[in-house]
């Protein structure tokens, strides 16, 4: 079994934000379509609902939280059981869900600051986004900036996100390998010594000819 096969067999979890304020029946249909199961295999409930009323045996579980007005619509806590739908990761889950729900979805960008997210639109555009958590519980979740225009986020600034540039280390194989092999600028000193030696040899040769 390949590594990709193992990933597809593992459970997938996702913490997704939606721009649109979707109703539960829309969530069920979109998740069922994204994962490739019947709607009856999807359990969707408010995060504050009675847990005893939920179908915990369903292969697809989703708890949603309605966010304060004025920003993003929902926060979704999604779980897809292992071997269900062949979804390899959170990014693919978000992409499929956005296409079927008809709204932009945000999911965390791994190994980046807490404010760094990916935004994927219903038509498949994927771009970086900056989302700060509100200071107060009743404040809206607002996307501050994106790296490409997102129609669902008209008020978000379109700009390069500097924190991403700082964290994305660009590799220069030749330079990095050279620095590792000859640290602390010793290469320059050795090269200089060799050059000085060649100059001295040439001077001695010229002196001998004149003599």
54-86 residue pLDDT tens:
999 999 999 999 999 999 999 999 999 998 988
- Answer with the one of 159, 183, 198 that is the final residue of a domain: 159
Range of the domain at 193: 173-210
**Are 116 and 90 found together in one domain?**
yes
Instruction: Quote the Cα angle for 90-96-102, to 5°.
Output: 125
Q: How many domains does the chain have?
A: 2
Q: What is the DSSP letter of 51?
A: G
Share of the chain above pLDDT 90, in %: 61
Across the range 182-208, mean pLDDT stands at: 49
pLDDT higher for 121 or 173? 121
* 165 within domain boundaries: no
Specify the range with the lowest mean pLDDT, choosing from 16-30, 85-99, 141-155: 85-99
Whole-angstrom distance, CA of residue 49 vs CA of residue 128:
33
Confidence of residue 11 (pLDDT cuts 50, 70, 90): confident
Is residue 102 pLDDT above 80, yes or no? yes
Share of the chain above pLDDT 70, in %: 71
**Are 142 and 43 found together in one domain?**
yes
């Amino acid at each position: 079994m390949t590594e990709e096969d193992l990933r597809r067999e593992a459970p997938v979890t996702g913490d997704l934000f939606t721009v649109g304020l979707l109703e539960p029946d829309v969530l069920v249909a979109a998740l069922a379509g994204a994962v490739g199961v019947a709607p009856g295999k999807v359990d969707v409930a408010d995060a504050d609902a009675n847990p005893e009323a939920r179908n915990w045996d369903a292969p697809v579980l989703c708890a949603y939280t309605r966010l304060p007005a004025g920003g993003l619509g929902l926060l979704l806590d999604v779980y897809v059981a292992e071997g269900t739908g062949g979804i390899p990761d959170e990014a693919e889950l978000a992409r499929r869900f956005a296409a079927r729900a008809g709204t932009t979805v945000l999911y965390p960008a791994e190994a980046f600051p807490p404010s760094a997210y990916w935004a994927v639109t219903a038509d498949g555009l994927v771009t970086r986004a900056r989302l700060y958590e509100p200071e107060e519980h009743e404040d809206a979740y607002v996307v501050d900036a994106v790296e490409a225009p997102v129609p669902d986020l008209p008020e978000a600034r379109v700009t390069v996100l500097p924190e991403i540039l700082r964290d994305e280390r660009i590799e220069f194989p030749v330079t990095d390998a050279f620095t590792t092999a000859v640290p602390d600028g010793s290469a320059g000193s050795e090269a200089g010594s060799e050059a000085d030696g060649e100059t001295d040899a040439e001077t001695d040769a010229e002196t001998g000819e004149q003599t």
